[in-house]
A = this chain, B = another copy of it.
Amino acid sequence: MVGTTHPGNIGAAARAMKNMGLSDLGLVAPKIYPSAEANARAAGADDILDRAQVFASLDEALADRQQIIGASARLRTISWPQLDPKACAEKVIGNADLKTAILFGRERTGLSNDELERCHYLLNIPCNPAFSSLNVAAAVQVVAYELFQAAQAAGSPVADAEAASLLANGEELESFHGHLLQTLHSIGFLHEKKSSPMLVRRLRRIFMRSGLEKADIHILRGILAAVQKRTRL
């Protein structure tokens, strides 16, 4: 974060970073830092603040960086390579061996032209052109979110075999539908209606759409059994 004016934004950015598993915060010439307000807004991400490196100049901060990306409102005047947050995250995660810095500028004025020219890429968050100034911590949140997404995608997503095993199978579904129709006949609901086929199809659709689990079937059949028991009395 370059030349940040409000310490609350530094704290909020630290929180956003920690939420998304990031930890390496650098502060270039912050106006007020350290600050109780930063810690309050960090809401438990104090460790990120404690470890934050404070630099007197951008040169110092970027000395060992190999890939530099600068957040900026959309620039039409110069045709620097521009990335959206997703493409930015793919660059960072895809080139994980590079030492990368993502620069976020001042609240009112962003990064200066000199600072933007230090960047390999510019990062632009697509937004409402009539109201395009994001809060700096909100911008950090969006970029951190995309970094987390890209890191997850790059890992090996674990199959959700457990959830799949809970789902009812065809046989269980058919038994349930049979039980349902039998019960609706026994209480006279289906007898009364002349439009049974449409009605039966609609009922079936309600439950098919629902993606019933084995445990759901168990409960629903419990209800049907209770209805049958009462109506038999």
A interface list, Cβ under 8 A from B: 12, 15-16, 18-21, 41, 43-45, 79, 85, 125-128, 131-135, 137-138, 141-142, 145, 148-149, 152, 163, 166, 184, 187-189, 192, 199, 202-203, 206-207, 209-213, 215-216, 219-220, 222-223, 226-227, 230-231
Residues of B within 8 A of A222 (CB): 189
Q: What is the chain B residue whose CB lies nearest that of A86?
A: B149
The CA of A148 and the CA of B84, in the complex, are separated in Å by 13
A213 CB → nearest B CB, Å: 7
Indicate whether A210 sits within 8 Å of B209 (C-beta atoms), given known contacts A128-B21, A141-B138: yes
Indicate whether A135 sits within 8 Å of B210 (C-beta atoms), given known contacts A21-B127, A141-B141, A163-B79: no
Q: What is the chain B residue whose CB lies nearest that of A79?
A: B163
- Residue with the highest number of chain B CB atoms closer than 10 Å, among A43, A132, A145, A163: A145
User: Apart from A19-B128, A184-B223, what are 19 other A-B pairs with CB-CB below 8 Å?
Assistant: A16-B135, A18-B128, A18-B131, A43-B135, A126-B149, A138-B138, A141-B142, A142-B142, A142-B145, A187-B226, A187-B230, A189-B222, A189-B223, A202-B215, A203-B219, A206-B207, A206-B210, A209-B209, A227-B227
Residues of B within 8 A of A79 (CB): 163, 166, 213
The CA of A41 and the CA of B166, in the complex, are separated in Å by 45
28 A-B pairs with CB atoms under 8 Å apart are: A12-B135, A12-B138, A15-B135, A15-B138, A16-B135, A18-B131, A19-B131, A20-B128, A21-B127, A43-B133, A44-B131, A44-B133, A45-B131, A125-B145, A127-B145, A127-B148, A134-B141, A137-B138, A138-B138, A138-B141, A141-B141, A142-B142, A184-B223, A202-B216, A206-B207, A206-B210, A206-B216, A209-B209
The CA of A220 and the CA of B223, in the complex, are separated in Å by 14
Residues of B within 8 A of A230 (CB): 187-188, 230-231
The CA of A216 and the CA of B78, in the complex, are separated in Å by 12
Q: What is the chain B residue whose CB lies nearest that of A212?
A: B206
The CA of A13 and the CA of B85, in the complex, are separated in Å by 20
